[in-house]
Structure 1
Amino acid sequence: MGLHIVNEANKCLQCKKPLCSMHCPVTTSIPQVISLFKEGKIMEAGEILFENNPLSLVCSIVCDHEAQCLGNCIMNRKNNPVRFCDIERFISDFYLDRMEFVKKPRKNIMVAVIGGGPAGMTVAIKMIKEGYDVTIFDEKNSIGGVLQYGIPDFRLPKSLMKRYYDKMEEIGIKIRNNTAVGGALEIKDLFRDGYKAVFVGTGVWRAKTLGIAGESLPNVHFSVDYLANPDGHKLGESVAIIGMGNAAMDVARTALRRGSRSVRLYARSKRVAANSVEIESAKYEGAEFIFGKAIESITYDGPVFKTAIFDEENNVVGYEKDLDYVDADSTIISVSNGPKNKLVLTTPGLKASDKGLLVVDENCMTTVEGVFAAGDVVLGSKTVVDAVGQAKIAVEGMLRYLEDLEAKKIE
């Protein structure tokens, strides 16, 4: 343990109304955790973190701390906020492999989780703790979703996902990888085989297209595909990235680390969607940011842009007449992702919004009885901690639903 972690804990003022906790999407009990840590009760602190957020170790690494706990610490007034993320990472890392996972008596009731990303992992861990038999169905080689296939290893080590995989198997969660529900198996088959509730946490894995000429050319790629398997893409020395969100930053940093020499990110406006840490990291590693470029088309030689004209408030008010032809070996589109629609197409009554996101009620139940959903497939592309927060609501809804089912059987 580094001395700086102890120093960070000692800085905490134990605020009666902790703004850090209030701005955490899962309302982590930050002062309580720090207090236990200072008392040497690391396992107790770890238990509180894990009970509240099974992915606390992940969130300590990938959360936008500047917008949440760190950025809202009262100590910011002295420009020296408490870095709770470092404290949380140490505690959660220490706790994960040492924890004693205590489950309620087995109920002999099966629950299916479709999608092993952050929401699915949270639901699976919490439901098995309640005594339910849980099986995760995931269409990829390993669980983790965006944690495994969307966040580069240099930001979130894949070894951490292996530790979670092993822990989840250890506590009794069954995992069926390479199994896409909505293909050979459908949701109706799960109910047929005795599952009493189904959770959908399939995320957003369909790249949003721009609807411009050139998107099908061999030198064009989508960020969701590139980040899932960088080895499958040969980008060349010069790369143009359309978009400036967090995924675009990951693409830029990955491309630079894999040998590309010129990596430029383009945006139509002067606003950047990514958080400040990711932006500065990408700049530090050599990425260039170019604003005021609206993508018009893509050719074999690279992207073609319209150049924006800005007013005094940096609003786009028009475009220059001449097009800007940019040379690039590869162009990567990173504007957004949406959900795949195979579950909607194969499940009668399952409704989605016009954006393809599943429609749920206040209990996170979809329009099909017994089928619940949370995470990006409901919210759209959000953060890991947002997925965890909504998954916790889904768990409460599932527990009430299953308890009602059992009560009706007794009647």
Structure 2
Amino acid sequence: MGKHIIEEASRCLQCKKPLCSKGCPISTPLNKVIALLLDGKMLEAGAMLFENNPLSVVCSMICPHENFCEGHCILGKKSSPVQTSDIENYISRYYLDQYKPEAEDNGNADKKIAVIGSGPAGITVAFILALNGYSVTLFESEERIGGVLQYGIPEFRLPKDLLEKLRKMLLQLNVKIRPNMMIGPVISLDDLLRDDYKAIFIGTGVWNPRPLRLTGETLGHVHYAINYLKNPDSYDVGKRVAVIGAGNVAMDVARTALRKGAQEVIVLYRRGKENMTATKYEYDYAKLDGVQFEFFRSPVRIVDEGVICQETRLETDDEGNSRMVTVEDSEKLYEADSVFIAVSQAPRSNLTGIEIGKTGLVITDELGRTNRENIFASGDVVTGAKTVVEAVSQSKKSAQAIMDYVSSLD
């Protein structure tokens, strides 16, 4: 592993205007990190990554690198890009094992901040605030921290021991963690403010599956993808599985089902391969695992035997406008013992007292400020499902806005 890392790092051209950093949503200074690594300054390289992105080790494994850093590497134009993801992972893992976090002693210890949700957004804000000396309490509705990282991404894509390391680091920074505590049904936002939390951050993600409203959706062999990924072992999916949808969550469900004993998994998607929201990387690995794909197939109803789909096609009118239409008399049954619906998620509707949009997303400004001056939010609960690195990038801005607000109270 080490030899491969050095070889890849040595390929870096050390561009004066690195396109890899420009292509990264959080502007990771990869050329500087690589220079430190090659100079034997591994801990400095790790510190640079962590300070820029507390979830660097996670992003190195699950980012769509082909769209971000590696997709912008100048070497990729004529040959293969520098495998910056491997380099970032190697350094970040090493740093995580060595790092002993210490909070700044700057007079903020008596200022309590509530962080609701311990997914990518919540963990990012908790780290930044705790490192800056604030007293942070992290409220998590499940038993373990991580949010989508823990309950929405399979082990084969993201080893959960990394999340345990992050949890221990938070505890070292005196972050208090309240698991199995969903804010809303029992404790409200106003209850937190009553108990002298100076500010509240909401990073609760998107956990309510969007239904298709199809006939047959309530049948016993039909499941929602995001629920399945929380604990696949509690499901008996049978031999044949159909997955409706073609995003990264659909790919995770399809690949997990094969690993849990399904013999045949088929993904049904109403558009073409080029319209998939799943990354090419996830699609390629799903194909490698044996997942089958049927494109231009729109589900019309679910029956005990599986999913009935109609064929679709793209039509373009004289003005160049395209629309998807169904082909008459093209219904076909795709037999399945289990059917998974993976068409997107929305936030839970458990929080009151802040402005919520029609889609259920929390409304904020560009810094994550809600309509109440002491309540902030970012991540998927604001933007809808995005990448982890995008959630981290936005949450860094929110963490700074929280610190600026609390400082203004003095």
Amino acid across the alignment from 1:43: L
Instruction: State the distance in 2 between where 1:179 and 1:185 align.
Output: 9
| Partner of residue 280 from structure 1, selected from 281, 284, 296 | 284
Structure 1 distance, partners of 2:141, 2:45, is 35
In 2, the alpha carbon distance for the partners of 1:143 and 1:135 equals 13
| Residue of structure 1 in register with 2:333 after alignment | 325
Q: CA deviation at 1:311?
A: 4.8
- Measured in 1, the distance between the counterparts of 2:60 and 2:16 equals 23
Q: CA deviation at 1:317?
A: 3.8
Q: Which residue of structure 2 aligns with residue 269 of structure 1?
A: 271
Listed as ranges, the matches of 1:2-401 within 5 Å are 2-105=2-105, 106-107=107-108, 108-270=110-272, 271-311=275-315, 316-344=324-352, 347=353, 350-401=354-405
Displacement, 1:310? 4.0
Higher mean displacement: 314-323 or 102-111: 314-323
Q: CA deviation at 1:58?
A: 0.3
Give the counterpart letter for 2:10 in structure 1. N
Distance 2:286 2:181 in 1: 35
Q: Deviations over 1:210-229 (max 9, x none)?
A: 11111111010000000011
CA distance in structure 2 between the partners assigned to 1:362 and 1:157 by the alignment: 32
CA distance in 2, matches of 1:23, 1:380: 21
Identity among equivalent positions (%) equals: 45
Amino acid at match of 1:63: C
Aligned residue for 1:316, secondary structure, equals strand
Tell me the CA shift for residue 100 of structure 1.
3.3
Contact 1:21/1:69 (CA < 8 Å) preserved in 2? yes
CA displacement 1:379-401 (0-9 Å, x = unmatched): 10001101100100101110111
Please list every run of 5 or more consecutive structure 1 residues that lacks an aligned counterpart in the other structure.
Answer: 407-411
Question: Structure 2: which amino acid aligns with 1:263?
Answer: V
User: Within 1, Cα distance between the matches of 2:132 and 2:67?
Assistant: 33
Q: Is the 8 A contact 1:308 1:320 kept in 2?
A: no
SS at match of 2:265: strand
Question: Matched residue pairs, number?
Answer: 402
Measured after TM superposition, the shift of residue 233 of structure 1 is: 1.1
Q: Is the 8 A contact 2:126 2:136 kept in 1?
A: yes
Offset, 1:361: 1.5
Question: In 2, Cα distance between the equivalents of 1:382 and 1:227?
Answer: 17
| Contact kept in structure 1, 2:137 and 2:177, CA below 8 Å | yes
Q: What's the CA shift for 1:60?
A: 0.3
SS in 2 for 1:306: strand
Aligned mates of 2:7, 2:267 — CA distance in 1: 38
The answer (yes or no) to whether the contact 2:367–2:394 under 8 Å persists in 1 is no
- CA deviations on 1:99-120 (whole Å, 9 max, x unpaired) are 1323221421000000000000
**CA-CA distance at 1:315 after TM superposition:** 5.9
> C-alpha distance in 2, partners of 1:221/1:136?
30
1:269–1:315: 8 Å Cα contact kept in structure 2? Answer: no
8 Å CA contact retained: 1:360, 1:378: yes
Secondary structure of the equivalent of 1:326? strand
Listed one character per residue, the Cα deviations across residues 338-361 of structure 1 (whole Å, up to 9, x for unaligned) are 0001103xx2xx111111100002
Partners of 2:101 and 2:169 within 8 A in 1:
no
Instruction: Read off the aligned partner of 1:341 and give its amino acid letter.
Output: S
Per-residue displacement from partner, 1:244-301 (whole Å, max 9, x unpaired)? 1000000010000111011000111102110011101110111001011111111111
1:409 aligns with: none
Distance 2:372 2:212 in 1: 32
Indicate the RMSD between aligned Cα atoms, in angstroms. 1.3
Deviation of 1:2 after TM superposition, in Å, equals: 2.2
Letter in 2 for 1:68: F
Cα distance in structure 2, aligned partners of 1:322 and 1:290: 14
CA contact (8 A) 1:128 1:173 kept: yes
Q: Is the 8 A contact 1:207 1:222 kept in 2?
A: yes
**Aligned partner of 2:339: which letter?**
T
Q: For the residues of structure 1 that align with 2:325 and 2:391, how far apart are their CA atoms?
A: 37
Q: Distance in 2 between matches of 1:317 and 1:304?
A: 16
C-alpha separation between the residues in 1 aligned to 2:68 and 2:127? Answer: 25
Q: Please identify, of 98-107 and 367-376, the stretch whose mean Cα deviation from structure 2 is larger.
A: 98-107
Q: Which amino acid aligns with 2:280?
A: S
Contact 2:116–2:122 (8 Å) recurs in 1: yes
* Letter aligned with residue 306 of structure 1: Q
Q: Give the aligned residue type for 2:407.
A: E
2:82 partner SS: coil
Gaps of 5+ in 2: none
